[in-house]
Structure 1
Amino acid sequence: MAPEVLEGAINFQRDAFLRIDMYAVGLVLWELVSRCKAADGPVGEYLLPFEEEAGQHPSLEDLQEVVVNKKMRPAFKDLWLKHSGLSQLCETAEECWDHDAEARLSAGCVQERISQVRRLLTVTVPTSEQQQPHHNNTPFAMVTNVDLPPKESSI
């Protein structure tokens, strides 16, 4: 939940709900990055956002303490920050979950940044058989396809 939701200071206007949604987008980006393999780095066990900070089943009070009072956000691994594409996604996530709702990125801005990362990381590689350009449509680090048991969120 966004800080303003946890504080109970929700402005029931369309723009406020969009900002709350953008906070959630930041958490989803963190989850996506956490499931990517950067270079030779390992992909750890799946964690919910704030699981390291507040446990697997945090109470509302736990989340208020972590998100509102301590202004913490899920941590980025050093390995992610060293990968050009993942680091840009991490930066985007950080700007989506800004404590100040009005400072958060818009959905259009996030879409443009992801498109920009994709353009930068899309590589043209000649195939050995035809020597014609082949566009790699997987610009981000490889996402693991390991079937892990789902975790339930109490958030």
Structure 2
Amino acid sequence: MFVAILLGLCMAQGYRCARCKAQNPDLEEPLDDQNLMAPKMCLRDLIYNLNSSGSGSAGLPLLVQRTIARSIILQEIIGKGSFGEVWRGVWNGQDVAVKMFSSRDEWSWFREVEIYQTVMLRHENILGFIAADNKDNGSWTQLWLVSEYHEHGSLFDYLNRHTVSMEATLVLALSVASGLAHLHMEIIGTQGKPAIAHRDLKTKNILVKKNGSAVIADLGLAVKHDSIANTIDIPSNHRVGTKRYMAPEILDDSINVSNFESYKRADIYSLGLVFWELVRRCSLGGSCEDYQLPYYDMAGSDPSVEEMRKVVCDQQARPSIPNQWHNWEALRILGRTMRECWNANPAARLTALRVKKTITQVTVVKTN
């Protein structure tokens, strides 16, 4: 049934795929019609059509996902993590990213797929989910999560390799804030979206798009809030994520685990650190700071919870904001925003929406 629907959509959208090819002239010719997917199919248009059908789902039908996943040709490893590996693959002449989980990390795979398929999650600043599948050859099982591919890699990698202009800095900052604001936002309605907290926001979990904006990725630790029942689908261990980016209330165990706002506020603390990493690489008058991780001068390369607690909670230290940032209005405002994001009092921190509005105003002033 799904294949029939899919083929019908393909026939009806010839002009859309032609446009996709025109906008992406570097795409290879798609596979021939012996493939289970229709010829000249564009992933972007396929996802657009099926997600505009009124179902409200953020994912393609399961049979379509499996068909796509099993037609991918793997090309090269582009990353590794505790979960497994990330590959660049090709489907129908289009690059995709394939995140492979080992069978022992089945829960992590299932959780991330579940979050990515949340109704109305799809957003230009959240990594585009394409498909999920499991591969079993009888002796081992591979769990795949297929997503859009972004050749620039993570923001961490990008900032290590490049300096960024003032305009590029604002574009990146605004897109990260926009993605986080969408995650945090609850959309009321029969096909509404629950509020979601990321819980591991950092430059390694943000990808840079070809157009210079960014998308938030790696949602395996995210939690959703059921506002009607006022419940949070979170495991008993709330201290997860990357220690360097953990908010003080997580480090000292004072977080109110029964209040969903607590998790959103912890994300905002991490957002302030991401902004600090970004602005350090902003080229000002032909010069900029070397890339560094937050607290590089106060904690080791792989700090423990105890080490970070001493720095962040006991000493109440925060990354230093250079005086020269005050010479540029945009950076002065970004610096102030960082301080409000990493305030020791969680309730005093900005919301993601407020951060987004502030940067939007700065961007408008800068471009006028």
Q: Is this a same-fold pair by TM over 0.5? A: yes
Question: What corresponds to 1:55 in structure 2?
Answer: 300
Aligned residue runs from structure 1 range 116-127, under 5 A: 116-123=361-368
Higher strand share: 2
Q: Which residue of 327, 330, 334 corresponds with 1:82?
A: 327
Which secondary structure does the structure 2 equivalent of 1:37 belong to?
coil
Matched, 1:70 2:319: no
**Structure 1 unmatched ranges of 5 or more:** 124-155
Q: Any runs of at least 4 consecutive aligned residues in structure 1 with deviations exceeding 3 A, and if so which?
A: none
Question: What corresponds to 2:272 in structure 1?
Answer: 26
- What amino acid sits opposite 2:320 in the alignment? A
CA distance in 1, matches of 2:346, 2:303: 23
**Are 1:19 and 1:104, in contact at CA under 8 Å, matched by a contact in 2?**
yes
**Are 1:39 and 1:83, in contact at CA under 8 Å, matched by a contact in 2?**
no
Following superposition, the deviation at residue 62 of structure 1 comes to: 1.6
CA distance in 2, matches of 1:3, 1:43: 29
CA distance in 2, matches of 1:88, 1:53: 25
**Are 1:81 and 1:87, in contact at CA under 8 Å, matched by a contact in 2?**
yes
- What amino acid sits opposite 2:253 in the alignment? G
Following superposition, the deviation at residue 52 of structure 1 comes to: 1.4
- 1 or 2 for the larger relative contact order (CA 8 Å, sep ≥6)? 1
**Are 1:6 and 1:63, in contact at CA under 8 Å, matched by a contact in 2?**
yes
Q: Which residue of 95, 105, 120 corresponds with 2:350?
A: 105
CA distance in 2, matches of 1:107, 1:30: 16
Structure with the greater alpha carbon radius of gyration? 2
Q: Deviations over 1:34-60 (max 9, x none)?
A: 1101234x2232110011122333222
User: Normalized against structure 2, the TM-score is what?
Assistant: 0.32
Following superposition, the deviation at residue 119 of structure 1 comes to: 1.0
CA distance in 2, matches of 1:37, 1:55: 27
**Structure 2 unmatched ranges of 5 or more:** 1-245
User: Normalized against structure 1, the TM-score is what?
Assistant: 0.74
Matched, 1:91 2:336: yes
CA distance in 2, matches of 1:71, 1:120: 34
Higher helix share: 1
**Are 1:71 and 1:99, in contact at CA under 8 Å, matched by a contact in 2?**
yes
Which secondary structure does the structure 2 equivalent of 1:72 belong to?
coil
